[in-house]
Amino acid sequence: QVQLVESGGGVVQPGRSLRLSCVVSGFTFGSYGMYWVRQSPGKGLEWVAFISYDGSNKYYVDSVKGRFTISRDNSKNTLYLQMDSLRAEDRAVYYCARQGGWYVLDYWGRGTLVTVSS
Amino acid sequence: QSALTQPRSLSGSPGQSVTISCSGNNSDVGVSNYVSWYQQHPDKAPKLIIYDVDKRPSGVPDRFSGSKSGNTASLTITGLQSEDEADYYCCSYAGTWVFGGGTTLTVL
């Protein structure tokens, strides 16, 4: 069955960096676009980034442009989110999700919590 | 881009029907055929329940249906059940992806 497992979250000081990973199984990773979506505590969902199946196209929400980088290693079935210059407002649970259909997030992982605090 | 507007909370009794609205504008919901809805139970990952405005993934009960009129999309749940108590989010693609603020549905 389709599984997505995020890791790499933790507590980090403002201005520092963190790299999240999402290991997938149960489907051909290299055939699907992938997303990162975050959810601040007690808040709604926010799309963060998208990467096409081959990594050739990447898109970001304005608030993370220039600070976050989405990437993938299709040989390792792994999606990444490199987060630099972290801010307090980046504190959230970060989910990875698979692109199903054109613009749909059809399977989600259980998320990893990122806390930015001094 | 601003979040889509959803009612913060709704409630209904078992067996009743409820409709959750998702309002945008003519740069997102109004021009998009790619509206989706997600159900999220506490401390769980979101689950896709409607995509492309009105399509249901396999395994999602036909009690869930989606529609759109103008700048507003809607999710209707008929025959409410206790397990429908959850948070619901709409999402629209129109160049980028934007989610609604979420609606907490309580089954009384």
Percent of the residues in chain B that have a pLDDT greater than 90, as a whole number: 75
Q: Which of A:90-109 have CB within 8 Å of B?
A: 95, 97, 100-109
| Other CB atoms within 10 A of residue A16 CB | 12
pLDDT band of residue A101 (cuts 50, 70, 90) is confident
Share of chain A above pLDDT 70, in %: 100
Vertex B53 angle, CA A104 and B65, to 5°: 110
Q: What is the pLDDT of residue A15?
A: 97
Sequence-distant (6+) residues with CB within 8 A of B81 are B14, B63, B107
Measure the N-to-C terminal CA separation of chain A; round to a whole number of Å. 40
CA angle A66, A89, A84 (to 5 degrees): 35
The pLDDT of residue B1: 66
The type of residue at A74 is: N
A83: enclosing H helix or E strand: strand A78-83
Length of chain A: 118
Touching check for B97 and chain A: CB below 8 Å? yes
